[in-house]
Structure 1
């Protein structure tokens, strides 16, 4: 089992604190494994397995506990048998009706340390804000980074090079279960297609009571085809109108928002770098996992520039950055990444294959009125840094080697 220390470093300070630890992220991104890693950490700190109480609410054997009252009674009976602090682990808690009432009651009544996971961002909205406001801390668990992928991939493919592994990562993505399939292309494709269908049906359609599934699928297909491109709901509405179908922009926005809440897409706003303000139109979207995109829609290598952008965007999220798309006059910076007082400007491209490409990528930073680091990432092996702008090999950037 991979240790996922990047997440454990963030979670560790909150272990044995009264704040409820909430782990969210797209379905099958490794949240259940994180609960196991937390249990391992607790054991090293002196906790006993007898102090652990855990339920996975997607397991049918717990179907009688899918409401707050039944779950509270079951946990209460177990807690009373424990000496010392109880550690509660609730996996896919959103399956439990009014779960927040149960969790809050356990928090205020017993000496317990609570960890919950969920596959929908609505987990942290609505009533939760009332019952648990200021009493939880959230950690988003993403699919494997390339570093995590490479660590596992070379165990089953010891003769592979970093470059070969990266080509597989481009096509297969970072869903953890692919390691169990030994990264065999056909089984991985079937798994990713089934996973995509599960996310759409369970976490988008079912949770939002969407009736027009065909429209949802068309909107998803449009967003996926335009990953990394700026567009608006009005543009999608016009596209559907050209296909003799009338769909209001508000309906499109609601459907996309439902996909965001299921962590299928991530929306990136645009920022006027000179005016330091967020722009209200033409945002970008990226997908949680490029392997799922390839399995369902195909064409990753055809859109390799955009897929590399997608990979870098997700990596910056993993590293804790808040990200916007930068606008400077008629030029655009792929990513403006901010973390506390740290700021980073990033351009991503496949190869700096011509003087025109070099000019386009490096000149995107012209006129930026500050001296924060500016990076151009590509798959070129030769360092082409110039004029105070750093050029890095994208693969080595993902591995943290530079």
Structure 2
């Protein structure tokens, strides 16, 4: 079992606090396994098995509990009156009006409640309103490069690990699959479940073929600035006429399913957020290979996608940085509002390429940290305060 220390530590920090712990993340990113690891920790710290009430709503035997009242009555009947009860409700979006059961359990002094869901819908609307100020959310992703590397022999080369990481996928279960055929079949199941259950059903999509065409276009344009008009025009010119509003509906479904992330732009000099030319990144770049194969792969944008996800894991709010007419791949803010800047390039050993990549960072007028991440396995360098790092060491958090 691959350990997920950052996520486990989050749950440990909030243990026994009067607040609901919400774990969100795309399907099969490891939420159920996280609960298993955390429950093992609880037992090791003296919690009795009878104090742990765990229900996974994707298991058929729990179908009678898909009504919120039945769920509440069942959990209440299992709770010990004189001890803290640790209640884990996995994939709770399957329960009709589940927020009522969660709220009723939350108000009990001897209930420590943990829930998971596989899309952004379950934390929107009524639940967020009902539980406003009473929950903390842990946004979970598939394996980081460091977590992925931990599953293999320590002697495995970093670049070999990276190739496998992006090609074979970062979904945790793929490390146990011993052939590309099996990995493809597994990713096919994830992809189709997300498309049919989290997008088609939720957004009431009539033309599934058109939706899949838009998804392919988005997967093929990782890291490219896009507008809904551009997407609609491109699809129409390819003989698939689609309206702006339909594209908007599809993109909402794609991002709400947590299949892709929309990244807005931040004007570094004007200190303001911009509304145009968002970029989109995949939750797992292995899905790009699954859907489109190895044709026309932009390795720089794939690396950019990996860096984007790692910045999210490290707790940053991530934006595309606009610096006058130039662009920095990522302008990130920490919880104190402090800024850092990251430029990502496959290689900068060519002098002209290095100058081009450094120029946007160099034009930023403030003195916040600036970093150039590349696949060049060279000694760390500094250019007018801009640090160049080997990206695989950075991903492994090697100083």
TM-score (ref. length: structure 2): 0.96
Partner of 1:86: 85
Helix, strand or coil: the match of 1:325?
strand
Distance 1:109 1:216 in 2: 44
Aligned residues of 2:3 and 2:147 also touching (Cα < 8 A): no
Q: Deviations over 1:254-298 (max 9, x none)?
A: 211111111100010011111111111110000000111111222
The counterpart of 1:213, out of the listed 208, 212, 219, is 208
Check 1:386–1:366 CA distance in 2 against 1; reply closer, same or farther (3 A cut).
closer
Aligned counterparts of 1:264 and 1:7: Cα–Cα separation in 2: 20
Aligned partner of residue 378 in structure 2, secondary structure: coil
Contact 1:293 1:300 in 2 (8 A): no
Distance 1:344 1:109 in 2: 42
Structure 1 residue aligned with 2:372: 376
Aligned to 1:125: 124
Question: Aligned runs of 1:3-402 on 2, under 5 Å?
Answer: 3-79=3-79, 83-109=82-108, 111-154=110-153, 160-182=156-178, 184-299=179-294, 302-339=297-334, 340-383=336-379, 384-402=381-399
2:210·2:240 contact (CA, 8 Å) conserved in 1? no
Distance 1:39 1:82, change over 3 A: farther
Shift of 1:82: 5.4
Decide whether the 8 Å contact of 2:167 with 2:285 is kept in 1: yes
**What is the root-mean-square deviation in Å for CA atoms of aligned residues?**
1.6
Return 5+ residue gaps in structure 2 as ranges. none
> How far apart are residue 219 of structure 1 and its match?
1.2
Structure 1 CA distance, aligned partners of 2:211 and 2:40?
41
Residue range with higher mean Cα deviation, 338-347 or 132-141: 338-347
Q: What is the deviation of 1:163?
A: 2.0
Q: Aligned partners of 2:170, 2:135: CA distance in 1, in Å? A: 28
**2:203 and 2:249 in contact (8 A); partners too:** no
What secondary structure, in the 3-state scheme, does the structure 2 residue paired with 1:153 have? coil
Distance in structure 2 (CA, Å) of the matches to 1:300 and 1:3: 34
**Per-residue displacement from partner, 1:8-28 (whole Å, max 9, x unpaired)?**
222222111110100000000
276-285 or 307-316, which moves further after superposition?
276-285
1:50–1:82 contact (8 Å) kept in structure 2: no
1:198 positional shift: 1.3
CA–CA distance in structure 2, aligned partners of residues 109 and 390 of structure 1:
51
Q: Tell me if the contact between 1:170 and 1:300 (Cα under 8 Å) persists in the aligned partners.
A: no
Report if the CA contact (8 A) 1:325-1:335 is conserved: yes
1:104 & 1:199 partners in 2: Cα distance? 28
Cα offset for 1:136? 0.7
Structure 1, unaligned runs of 5 or more: none
| Change in 2 beyond 3 A, CA 1:65/1:133 | same
Q: Which range moves more in the overlay, 319-328 or 294-303?
A: 294-303
Identify which range, 242-251 or 49-58, moves more after superposition.
242-251
Asked if the contact 2:17–2:112 (Cα under 8 Å) also holds between the matched residues in 1, the reply is yes
Shift of 1:110: 5.6
Shift of 1:237: 1.2
Kindly indicate whether the alpha-carbon contact (under 8 Å) linking 2:374 and 2:389 is maintained by their aligned counterparts in 1: yes
- Of stretches 303-312 and 45-54 in structure 1, the one that deviates more from structure 2 is 45-54
**What is the CA distance between 1:244 and its match in structure 2?**
3.7
State which drifts further: 67-76 or 285-294: 67-76
SS at match of 1:365: helix
The answer to whether the 8 A contact 1:171-1:300 is kept is no
